[in-house]
Chains A and B, each alone.
Chain A
Amino acid sequence: MSDATHHAPAVPADTPSRRPPITVVGPVAWARASLFSSWLSTAVTLALAYLLARWIIGFVDWAFINAIWSVPVNAQGAQTQACRALQGAGACWAVITEKHRFILFGTYPYDEHWRPLVCVFLFIGLYIVSAMRRFWRKELALIWAGVLFLIGFLMWGGALGMPYVPQERWGGLVITLILSTFGIAFAFPLAVLVALGRRSRMPAIKMLCVVYVELIRGVPLISLLFMASVMFPLFLPEGMNIDKLLRAQVAIILFAAAYLAEVVRGGLQALSRGQYEAADALGLSYWQKTLFIILPQALRLVIPPLVNTFIGMFKDTSLVLIIGIFDLLTAGKTAIVEPAWQGFGIEVYVFVGIIYFIFCFAMSRYSQGLERGLNQHRVR
């Protein structure tokens, strides 16, 4: 029986420190807090785990276990009976095996496929270089100009032993990259001018810029692409022809510039008035002030939203499918028009989707990391 005068046992002078019990830290504790913290949470966890498991098993079955990876091709074309016999229980990845070159490069001559491939890597290299803070200097503009010129040269050819390939035969991933990269390269300076114009005190200029931005942002990109494909030829004098890709590119540039202008304007507004005043007090002219003081700071403020706008543009280039320009998505859709491959759209769209996802996911992660980094810098 416990004694009413029970004393607590004397604690020895140096109790060795013990590790906390596993119910407080470590994986078990984490599971308790995050997955099983309450009855409701436990029920949700079990339900989700069950559904997830079923879905993953089903997907693995379809995509890997029952899938067919290639089919024989003879004189009559691809023999896809084996794929059709699956009746949807397994994926027919054979369509990718057969058609991936077409999806990636369109109707570009087969022997010259190395050229658009090199261009794809040039684009990726350009993005990576632009992402590194080391290169955020004026020289970056020169790098862009140089690489874009090189890409144009490679794609068209006609010199240095590379046969000339007309624009109608370009297609696939390269077109998507061209439309989005050239789009943002030209839209960006235009957007800066429009943003500055919108903040101008000269009413006529301000109104022109406001009308431009609100007009473009109020209509869907499709209507601008229709305009480019159907109306632009009417705007030009007789005899002057601009091919469809260039017209679509112009429409994309005008569209992107309006959205980028709003992003830049946000940066201009966020900059404190004192910076403008200090530059004025020192006697700097409008353009000196804008180029040396205002723009460097304002643009740096809005880099994350700029990257997000670029991601949006990259996805939006897929709309050229509707006016018949051969980008990555159009190539994918066209690949299954052939009777042999009809009905395997899901496989193709998964393949195309993975490519888009890789690009957009990388950019999205970059933008999120950037935002965190820049905010850390500012919070002092």
Chain B
Amino acid sequence: MSDTAADPRLLRAPPKRGLRLSWADERFRAIIWQVLIVGVVAGVIWWLVGNTRHNLEVRRIATGFGFLTREAGLPIAESLVPYTPASTYARALLVGVLNTLKVAVIGVVLATVLGTLIGIARLSKNWLLSRIAATYIEVIRDLPLLLQLLFWYTLMQTLPGPRQAMHPVEGVFLSNRGLRLPWIQWEDAHSFALLGMVVGIIAAVVYGRSARAKQMQDGQPRKIWPAAVGLIVGLPLVIWAAWGAPFQGDIPALRGFNFQGGMSISPEYFALLAGLVTYTAGFIAEIVRAGIQAVPGGQWEASEALGLQRGRIMRLVVLPQALRVIIPPMTSQYLNLTKNSSLAVAIGYQDIVSIANTTLNQTGQAIEGIAIIMGVYLTISLSISLFMNWYNSRIALVER
């Protein structure tokens, strides 16, 4: 009789096991250990909580998050949403979170770009370029970030005042009150155009997918980029034109002691961003270099032997392998940059740590304040970690 019937090893299910209450039983011993250790930890936590309750009572410190609805009375220099010192603490903390995200998101993008460029420069055949990149990486990584931030901030403070501001290009002013750039007056048309760009990007991706699917079916490659450019650039332009094509410049001009108009970047933000970006770029450069070097030379050779061209080799063979090595440590650096932005409190940029710190000083509620800080960062870290794990399992190489 042939054995192509069901595998006989799948026919019966395993039995359940009982537990013997004896020290010699391995599982019993494990349970006792766990009960002991959890008990000790719980006991210590109970003692700490007891002390804390007592101390809070004695010092007449309030507990709970009721303070969030009270008026903050806290001046905040820059905010992405409307805020006045009459707003609540909850709103102040929200401004803090947004300020942190403002530095983290832009920092991550700039650090990635700079870091990738430096990493590639490090691998260049030009000796001078590669040595300069290596020196940059080594120096940045051997100095504390706080020192670098203080350095950038001091640099900003030694810039001349607004009246003698540096003026490299028309409309751009650099002084010790920050950087001023020309901007446009933002109208509804611009908002819609921005929305149109987002829609255009999604549409371009969808179009790219369907073009690739069609290529798989009939073997004919299709040019994606004309349609993509049309969607990503053309669509917003069309929308903007349809709403009247407004374009009113907002040029900064010196009025009295400072500039008015245009887009302003505070010296604190600039110093924080510059310090974080240059620091993290040093680490990203090493990651990119390791990733590119991790792809064996044989991959290039085999691809060339098959007749593939350089662009395709990069896209289909080298980059996918390099990215697998690059992405986990890269994500960890993004997390580091976000956590490092907490150093803003040392140079006066009001991120969540700075505002929560002031809050807890004003209300005396240290535990709630620190809990808020930790909660915000934990949320960001765990989301990024979850995303990373999901992405990693998706692209993991299948092995035995």
A and B, direct touch (CB closer than 8 Å)? yes
Task: Known contacts A34-B125, A37-B125, A318-B144; decide if A333 and B150 are in contact (CB<8 Å).
Answer: yes
Residues 197 to 220 of chain A near chain B (Cβ within 8 Å): 201-205, 208, 214-215, 217-220
Is B260 part of the binding interface, using a Cβ–Cβ cutoff of 8 Å?
no
B142 touches A357 (CB 8 A): yes
Contact status B147-A48, CB under 8 Å:
no
Cα A71 to Cα B376 in complex, Å, equals 50
Cβ–Cβ contact B146 & A319, under 8 A: yes
A 15-54 contacts with B by CB, 8 A? 33-35, 37, 41, 44-45, 48-49, 52
B342 touches A220 (CB 8 A): yes
Contact A35–B37 (Cβ < 8 Å)? no
Report Cα–Cα, A361/B135, bound state, in Å. Answer: 11
B343 proximal to A (CB < 8 A): yes
Q: Which residues of B contact A318 (CB under 8 A)?
A: 144, 146-147
Is B387 part of the contact surface with A, judged by Cβ < 8 Å? no
Query: With A231-B367, A234-B367 known to touch, is A321 a contact of B146 (CB < 8 Å)?
Result: yes
The majority secondary structure among interface residues of chain B is: helix
User: Complex formed: what's the CA distance from A343 to B159 in Å?
Assistant: 12
The smallest C-beta distance from A375 to any residue of chain B, in angstroms, reads 14
* Residue tally, chain B, CB below 8 Å to A: 53
A350 nearest CB neighbor, chain B only = B151
List the A side residues contacting B210 at CB < 8 Å: none
In contact, B367 and A349 (Cβ under 8 angstroms): no
Q: Given A37-B125, A44-B126, does the pair A219, B374 have CB atoms closer than 8 Å?
A: yes
Measured CB to CB, the closest approach of chain A to B360, in angstroms, equals: 7
Kindly provide the distance from the CB of A261 to the nearest chain B CB, expressed in whole angstroms.
15
What are 6 A-B pairs at a CB distance below 8 A?
A48-B132, A52-B128, A227-B370, A315-B143, A356-B143, A357-B143
Given A52-B128, A218-B381, output 20 extra A-B contacts at Cβ < 8 Å: A34-B126, A48-B128, A205-B37, A218-B374, A219-B378, A219-B381, A220-B377, A223-B374, A226-B373, A230-B370, A231-B366, A231-B367, A238-B55, A319-B146, A321-B146, A329-B150, A333-B150, A349-B154, A361-B142, A364-B138
Residue positions of B touching A, CB distance < 8 A: 30, 33-35, 37-38, 41, 48, 51-52, 54-56, 58, 125-129, 132, 138-139, 141-147, 150-151, 154-155, 158, 339-340, 342-343, 345-346, 353, 357, 360, 366-367, 370, 373-374, 377-378, 381-382, 385
A residues contacting B by CB (< 8 A) are 33-35, 37, 41, 44-45, 48-49, 52, 88, 201-205, 208, 214-215, 217-223, 226-227, 230-231, 233-238, 311, 315-316, 318-319, 321-322, 329, 333, 343, 345-346, 349, 352-353, 356-357, 360-361, 364
